[in-house]
Chain A
Amino acid sequence: MTGRHPGTRLVASLCSSPAGALDASVKVICVVGFVTAVVATPPRAVLAFAVDALLVLAAAAASCLPARVLARRMSVETPFVIFAVLMPFIGTGPRMDVFGIGVSVPGCWAAWSIIVKASLGVAAAIVLAWSTPTAEILAGLERLRCPRALVMIAGFMVRYLDLVAAELRRLQIARISRGDDPRWLWQGRAVATTAGSMFVRCFERGERLHAAMASRGFTGRFPTTAAPQRPRRWFPAIMWPLVAWVVALAVLIP
C-alpha cells in the first residue's frame, strides 16, 4: 500500500496533460487492454517487453507523470519481487552456474516473468491513477456499464477513505505518543484495539455524514457535477493497448 488516499494529491489535477484530457472510460479500457496484453506475452520474448516498457513510459510522459513519483509508487510490488528473487534458488529443473552458485534455469525465467509483468502492470495502474481523478474513474466505470451498486459502494468508500485515514492517524499518534510500538505477535492486541475503536468511531461519523446527506436531498445517486462529460476520443490512447497486443500476438503466432 502506498498509504496515500484519493483526496490527497493522488492525481495531477492541475497538469494539463494530453492524457488528462481523455475520457476516463477510454483510459480504463486502454489500461486493462495493455495489462492483459502484457500478461499474455510469453516471458522469453524479451524484446516484446522492451516495447511494452517504452509504451508505458510514453503513456507516463503523456500524463506528465514525474519519474520520481513513478519510481516511488512502484514500491508496492516489493513483496512479490522478493518472492521472485528467491525462485532461481529454490526452483527445480536444470541448473546453471552463476558466479559459482547453482541456480535453476526455469526459476530464473519465472523470476524474470513475474518481475517484468508485475512491474509493467503496476506502472500502467500508476499512470491511470495519476492522470485521472478518482471521481472521474468511477463515472467512467459507470458509463462502461459497471453495476451501479458496485460504483455506489466505491463512491462511498472513496469519500469515507479520508475520514477513516484521519481517524486512524489520530489513534496512532495517541498510541505511539504513549510509547507503544508493537513488533511481536503477543503485542498485537494494541493494533487490534486500535482497529476496533477506529471502526466504531468511523461508523458513528459515517452515520452523521449520511444523515447530513439525506437531509440535503441525497436519494442514493451521486451528482455528476464533478466530471463534465467529454466527447470520447479514442485516438491516440487506443494505440497503447493495440501496439501491446500486436506485439504479444506477433510472438504468440510465429
Chain B
Amino acid sequence: MHVPDGLVDAPTSLAAGAVAAVGIGVSLRRGGKELSGSRIPLTGLVAAFVFSAQMLNFPVASGTSGHLIGGLLAAVLVGPWLGALALTVVLAVQALLFADGGISALGINVINMALIPAFAGYGLFWLARLVLPRTRAGVLTSTASAALLSVVAGAAAFTIEYALGGNGAVPATTVAWAMVTVHVLIGCGEAAITTLVVGAVLTTRPDLVYGARDLVGRTRPVPELQGLR
C-alpha cells in the first residue's frame, strides 16, 4: 500500500501533503503534552516495532502477500495522537532511507496509513469498547474489528485519492474493487496480528496498553512504567 512517486499526480499529492500536515500538527499539539519521560522511548519503540513488523509478510491468497500496517496497533498501545506520530515517523523514514513509498507521496501515505488508522480506527475501537463489556475479551474484540476496518478504510481512501488524481488509465472503479477485496483479506491478517500482539501485551504488561487503561488495576497491580524490572 506504500504509494510510490508518480502514481498520483502532483496537485493531489500536494493537497494530501497539506491535509497530512494539519493532522500531524494536531497530533503534535495533543500528543506533545504526553511526550515526556518514558513515553518518548515507548513511542519510539512502537515505531521501531511497526517498522520491523511491516517486513513480516503474511500470505493473503496463494499468490499475493500483505504485511502489517500497524496503525491501529500503535494507536491502541500509545494512544491515537502518539500512534499517528509514530506511524508518520515510520513512513517518513521508509520514504527517505529505504525508498519504500515515494517522498512526494508521503502525504498520501501518511493519510492512508497513519491518520486514518489512528483516528478513524481508534474512534471505532473506542465506540466498540463503549458497547462491549469492560473485559479483556471486549478489548480484543474491539481491537480486531477496528484493525480490520482501519485497513479497509485506508484502502478506500487510496481509491478516492486515485480517483481524484491517479496517473493511471485503469478506471477508478476497477481499482476500488481490487483494492477493497485484497485489503479485506489483508485486514483479516492485520486484525489477527494486532489482536494477538495486544493480547500478549495485555497478559504480561496491561499497563502498556493505552486503549485498556481502565482495565489496569482490575487484573493485577500496576508496575511503575519507568522502574527497573
Contact = CB atoms under 8 A, between A and B. Distances in A.
B90 to A, nearest CB: 7
B205 to A, nearest CB: 7
Judged by DSSP, the binding face of B is helix
B206 to A, nearest CB: 12
A210 B103 contact: no
B169 interface: yes
B225 to A, nearest CB: 8
Contacts of A128: 96-97
B102 A121 contact: yes
Contacts, number: 265
Given A43-B167, A87-B170, A114-B167, A149 B32 contact: yes
Interface in B152-199: 167-171, 174, 185, 188-189, 192-193, 196-197, 199
Given A149-B28, A203-B205, A160 B44 contact: yes
Interface string B61-80: 11000001000000000000
Given A154-B47, A157-B47, A137 B201 contact: no
A3 B62 CA distance: 23
Interface string A123-155: 111101100001001000000000101101111
B169 A197 contact: no
B58 interface: yes
B99 A125 contact: yes
B92 A154 contact: yes
A128 to B, nearest CB: 6
A200 B205 contact: yes
B211 to A, nearest CB: 15
Interface stretch (B81-89, B125-133, B212-220): B81-89
A153 B44 contact: yes
B64 to A, nearest CB: 9
Contacts of A32: 103
A110 B93 contact: no
A91 B168 contact: yes
B72 to A, nearest CB: 14
Contact of B226 (A36, A197, A214): A214
Given A32-B103, A35-B5, A109-B169, A195 B44 contact: no
Contacts of B196: 189, 192-193, 195-196
B135 to A, nearest CB: 19
Nearest to A199: B197
B104 A39 contact: yes
A90 B167 CA distance: 14
A99 interface: no
Interface string A30-54: 0110011011100100000000000
B31 A117 contact: no
B169 A104 contact: yes
Given A153-B44, A160-B45, A125 B103 contact: yes
Contacts of B85: 149-150, 153
Given A90-B170, A203-B205, A3 B55 contact: yes
B204 to A, nearest CB: 5
Given A128-B97, A154-B93, A159-B44, 19 more contacts: A77-B4, A80-B7, A118-B5, A125-B99, A125-B103, A134-B97, A150-B89, A152-B44, A153-B43, A164-B48, A185-B59, A185-B60, A185-B185, A188-B58, A195-B196, A197-B200, A198-B53, A202-B49, A207-B41
11 contacts: A28-B96, A39-B6, A76-B98, A118-B4, A122-B4, A123-B99, A125-B97, A126-B99, A150-B88, A192-B58, A195-B53
Interface of B: 4-7, 9-10, 13, 24, 28, 31-32, 35-38, 40-45, 47-49, 51-56, 58-62, 68, 85-86, 88-90, 92-100, 102-104, 167-171, 174, 185, 188-189, 192-193, 196-197, 199-201, 204-205, 208, 225-229
Instruction: Please name the 6 residue pairs, one residue from A and one from B, whose CB atoms are nearest each other, closest first.
Output: A156-B44, A117-B6, A121-B5, A196-B200, A106-B169, A91-B169
